[in-house]
Homo-oligomer: A and B are copies of this chain.
Amino acid sequence: MSAFSLSPQIVEIIGGVAAFLTTVSWMPQAIKTITTRQTRDISLWAQVLLFTGILLWLIYGIYIISWPLIGANIVTLFLVGTILTMKLKHG
């Protein structure tokens, strides 16, 4: 046990707060896009890369059994997926 060791519960709480904060930071763009239905200023390829990256983080999180990674990436996959679907539909 080093001076920096933490209990697994504390580590999961740190991960959970991290997941909450970075997920919340996606909300304003998602809400703006969903309510205005305006996607002209959003880059299609940035969203495709991001969607792919988040999907891979989710797969990675499932394999290493990290609940903060799984939770955060399910929510952001849904948010980015919604923006991407609207971009593909409305251009």
Contact = CB atoms under 8 A, between A and B. Distances in A.
Nearest to A21: B53
Main SS class of interface, A: helix
A63 B2 CA distance: 12
Contacts of A53: 17-22, 24-25
Number of copies: 2
Contacts of A17: 53, 56
A6 interface: yes
B63 A6 contact: yes
Chain A's interface size range is 20 to 34
A19 B25 CA distance: 18
Given A17-B56, A57-B15, A49 B25 contact: yes
Given A28-B46, A66-B64, A22 B59 contact: no
